[in-house]
Amino acid sequence: MRNEHMGCKGRTAVLSYYITVMHSGLDTPQEPPQPRPPIPPRQRSAVRAGLVKTADAFLFIEPLWTILGTLFVFLSYLLNMGPAFPWIGLGSACLPFAMRLIRKQTLRLRTPFDIPMALLVVGALIGLCTSPDRTISLGAFQCILAISLFYCSWVNHESQPVLMKWLIVLVPVAFLIVLLLFQLDLRHPASQSNFVIGGYGTHHGLAMYLMIVAAVLAGIAAFSKRTRIRVFAAVFFLLFFTVVLIMTWDSLRALFEWESISGRTPIWDKTATLLSDSPFTGLGLGCWALAYWHTSVLGTPTVNEITHAHNAYLELYANTGLFGVLALLIALAIGMKLSLDIIRSPRAHPWYGLGVGVILACVATLLVGIVESAPMGVPLVATETYYYIISPVAWILCGLLVIAHRLITKSPRL
C-alpha cells in the first residue's frame, strides 16, 4: 500500500512539474516583431509619379477605351455570346470614370444634355420592365447604357481639339473602308443562322451615316481657313454625297412622288392605335415589331420586311414611352440654344465650320427621322427571333454639338 501511495505522489509531482514549466513558458515575454523598414521618400515619390503617369495615359486614351467597350457590348449582344458578356463590356467602359474619380476627384463634367439623357434611360428602363420579350429589351437597354457611357467619355475628354482633329481625318477614311467592305458583301460572323443584315433598312442606315459625315465635311469645306483642310473635306463630301444619292435614289424618287408616304401611312396609323393602349410606357423597348405582328419571327413573307415603324419619333415613343418623348423635346430645345450660339459666333473662328457642319447633320437627321426609324434603331432578323439595335446617332450628334459649342465659345457649360 505504501508503494502505491508513493507512486501516486511521484506521478503527481511529475504532472505538477510539467504544469509549472508550461506556465513559466507562457509567462516568458516574447520578443516583439521587428517593424518593416520604411520606404525611402525618393522611392515613394517615384512610385506615386509612375501611378499618376499611368492614370493620365489611361485617361488620354479614354475615348478609344470606351468605344471598344461599347463595341464589345453590341457584339456580345448580337452574337449571343451569353448574358454576362454585355455586363463585362459595360464594366470595362466604366473604368475610365473610376480612374477620373481617383485622379481628378470627379466622375465627369456636367453637359447640356444630362437631363434628356437621364430621362431617356428612365424611359428605356420602363420599356424593359414592361417588355413582352425581356431578352430583346435587355440587350437594347445594355446598348443604351453603353452608348451613354460613350457620350460622357468623349464629351469629357480634356484634349478635345486634338480629338476632333483626328476624327476629322480618320472618320471619313474609316467610312470609305466600310463602304468598300459593304460593296464586297463579306460574310458576317453571326452565330444565328439566316442572320439578315442586308436589305433596305441597312442600306438606308449606312446612307444616313454617310449623310451625317458629308454634312459635317460640308461645313468644314465652306468655312475652314486652311486650304488643305478645305480640299480634303470637299473631296470626301462630294464622294459621300454622290454615294448617298446613288444608294437612296429610288427611295428619294418614291418619296417625292408621295409613294413612300402613302405606303407608310397605314403603318403609322396602326402604331398610333397600339400606342393609345399604353400611352405612358410605350410598346416595350425594341418590341415594336413584336407588338405589331404578335411574333418575334420576322423573316417571313407576311412581315414583308416591315420590321420597324418607318418613323424615328414613333419608334422612340414605342421604345421609351412618355419619358422618351419628353427627353426628345428637351434635347431639341437645348440643341436649338447651342446651334444659335454657334451660328452667332465669329465666322473667322477656326472651329466655326465644324459647328455649322454638325448643325447641318442634326437638321438632316431630324428630317430623315420622319420617314425612317434608323436614327432611333432597327431590328436585325434571325431565324427564330430578332435583335434590336439602338442607333448611336443621337448620342453622337449631341456629343459633337456640345464639343463644337465648347471649342467655339470656350464655355464648358450651357
pLDDT in tens, 23-37: 544 444 545 566 666
Spatial contact of 408 and 351, defined as CB atoms under 8 Å apart: yes
Enter the C-alpha cell of residue 216.
459635317
Question: For residue 392, is it within any domain?
Answer: yes
Could you tell me if 299 and 264 are in contact, meaning their C-beta atoms sit under 8 angstroms apart? no
Q: Which three cell numbers stand for residue 379?
A: 431590328
Q: Is residue 217 part of a domain?
A: yes
Check residue 142 and report its DSSP letter.
H
Residue type, 91: G
pLDDT tens for each residue of 250-308: 888 888 888 888 889 999 999 999 999 999 999 999 999 889 888 877 777 777 778 88
Is residue 268 within 8 Å of residue 309, measured between CB atoms? Answer: yes
Cell of 197: 443584315
Please indicate, yes or no, if residue 362 is contained in any of the structural domains.
Answer: yes
pLDDT of residue 15: 52
Instruction: Categorise residue 225: left if φ over 0, alpha if ψ from -120 to 50, beta otherwise.
Output: alpha
Q: How far apart are the first and last CA of the chain?
A: 107
52: in domain: no
Model pTM score? 0.82
Does residue 49 fall inside a structural domain? no
CA distances from 277 to 78, 209, 280, 323 (A): 31, 34, 9, 16
In a domain, 100, yes or no: no
Question: Consecutive sets of 10 residues in the chain, 414 residues long: mean pLDDT of each?
Answer: 49 54 48 63 68 73 86 87 88 83 70 93 95 91 94 84 81 76 54 47 76 93 89 92 88 86 91 92 92 81 80 95 96 96 91 94 94 88 83 93 90 42
How many residues make up the chain in this entry?
414
Whether residue 35 is contained in a domain is answered as no
Number of domains in the chain: 1
136 occurs within a structural domain: yes
- Looking at the chain, the number of H-run helices and the number of E-run strands are 14, 2
- The sign one gets for the Cα dihedral 257, 371, 263, 198 is positive
Sign of the C-alpha dihedral, residues 348, 349, 351, 356? negative
- The domain of 334 spans 110-409
Please give the pLDDT value at position 317: 96
The model's pLDDT over 194-223, given as tens digits with 9 standing for 90+, comes to: 455 444 445 777 888 889 999 999 999 999
Burial 339-356 (b: 16+ CB within 10 A, else e): bebbeebeeebebbbbbb
For residue 318, what pLDDT is reported? Answer: 95
